[in-house]
Structures are given as C-alpha cells and as structure tokens.
Amino acid sequence: MKSFIAANWKMNKTVTETREFLSAFIPAVRDAVDVDIVVAPPFTALASAGELIRDTNVQLAAQDMFWEEKGAFTGEISSAMLLEAGCRHVIIGHSERRQYFLEDDAVINKKLKAAGKAGLGLIFCVGETLGEREANRTFDVIRREIEFGLEGIGAGNLVVAYEPVWAIGTGKTATPEQAQEVHAFIRETLRKLYGNSADSIRILYGGSVTPESIDRLMACRDVNGGLVGGASLNPESFSKIVCFKKAIKET
Ligand code: 13P
C-alpha cells in the first residue's frame, strides 16, 4: 500500500514562510517514491502554495472546511474555494477542532459528506484523550467517532488519522505497540462498515511524530502513514519523515 505522510501546520506560517518552506522542501523530496506527500498550510497560504506545488510530487490539503456550498456564513470556507486553490485533500475532525471549536460527530459527518461530494480526499481524524485512555474507554471513543463520523461516507477517498490527544504536541509519541493496537482496532471497525475495502484505507498515526520515531511507527502492520504537526514545520525534519526507512512490516 502506498504510504501517506501529511504535514498539518495548524495556525503556523504566513504566505512568505510557506514559500520559504516549499522552496527548500520540494527539491528535498523530489525522489521520494511510493508515498503520497501532503502539506496542509493555513487557508491564507493555500493559493500560493497551490502554485508552487503544481507539477511536483507534493499535494495540498486544507485543515478544515464548511459543509455549505456558499452563502451567509461569515468566516467560513467552501470546498469549491479549496479546490480552486489547488487542494486535493481536507483534514476533518481534528481533535483541536473538536476541543476548541466544539465540533461534534454530527458536524464532522456533515463536513465529510460535503468534502466527499466535492471530490476532495478526506483525512478524517479520531483519537482519545488521556482521561479516556486511563478510564479504558479508548476503543469505545474510537468506535463512536468512526461510526457516527463516517455514517453515509464511502471508503473510496478516505484516509483515517489516529491521533491520541495525549500525544499531540506533548513530545509523548505513542509506542509502536500502542499505535498498532488502536490501528488494528480501527481497521476492524472499518471492516464492519466497508468489508474488504477497509484493507485499502490508509490509517495514519499522528502525535509527536519525529524523524527519530517514524521508522518504527511505519514498521507496524496497520500504520500506513503519518500526520505530523510540530516536526513538519521545518523542511529538513519533514523531508526526513517523508523519506523514512522502509522496513518489512512487523505484526
Ligand atoms: P504534533 O506532531 O505537533 O504532536 O501534532 C500532531 C497533530 O495534531 C497533527 O495533526
């Protein structure tokens, strides 16, 4: 399966900083093979990033979108706006959207439906908080997020990102064993929805991924890529992550 490594810049980088990043990053990953390389800048930098990545092996994603096509929704961004800027994918349901902007499963489902209908690739995020993990509720939370979030969504354009909230921005990467356990559970849950098509859905790990941790994470059977925050802001460290060392998949 082709790997999928995506940078989520969150609220970082101006247009100028985006240009600087891409002018160093694009040549650094030019020879990377068998990996979808995706960068998600903030909305304001999408259009110029879209021009810089044209005819390269780097793809563009947005970090969010609204589900309506147009109209009186001050501050919101539609799928058509993203497509015109050159986006091929959109991140939906990031834990920061859930936590700070109160997005629930129903809102996320509407966004996924609208993005899918527009032909955007979906990078759908799920993950438990530390409290939920400590209360042994990880699987319940993930099952709920998947079942409600993906209601009515096809498997075709779907990538799922497992991002344990306790690992995001904390420097506490999940161990490969912790990641594999949840990824296998996600695969099993997807199989209930999509049958054998679940085997071709890429499941990304996100949460304090670094050039040092990526190889062992990618060696896990059900880890098919990464969604990277902090370590994606520097072209050198993100290109190292994209060019991770491929190993035979462990169990
Ligand atoms: P960090 O890599 O900074 O922990 O962020 C992960 C993340 O939230 C990516 O979407």
pLDDT of residue 177: 97
Q: DSSP states of 175-210 as a string? A: PHHHHHHHHHHHHHHHHHHHGGGGGGSEEEEESS--
Does the domain formed by 3-250 have CATH 3.20.20.70?
yes
pLDDT of residue 249: 82
Is 164 close to ligand 1, i.e. is its CB under 6 Å away? Answer: no
Tell me, in angstroms, the distance from the centre of ligand 1 to residue 27's CA.
Answer: 24
Give yes or no for a contact between 7 and 238, defined as CB atoms under 8 angstroms apart. yes
Is 227 close to ligand 1, i.e. is its CB under 6 Å away? Answer: yes
pLDDT of residue 251: 54
Distances (CA, A) of 19 to 51, 52, 53, 139, 185: 10, 8, 10, 40, 39
Running along the chain, 251 residues long, what does each successive block of 10 average in pLDDT?
97 98 98 96 98 98 98 98 98 98 98 98 98 97 98 97 96 95 98 97 97 97 98 98 87 54
pLDDT of residue 231: 98
Is 169 close to ligand 1, i.e. is its CB under 6 Å away? Answer: yes
- Active-site residue, from 94, 96, 103, 132: 94
pLDDT of residue 247: 80
The domain segmentation of the chain, as residue ranges, is 3-250
pLDDT of residue 26: 98
Distance CA 32, CA 242 (A): 7
- Look up residue 142 and give its two tokens: 């993930």
- Residues pairing with 179 in the sheet: none
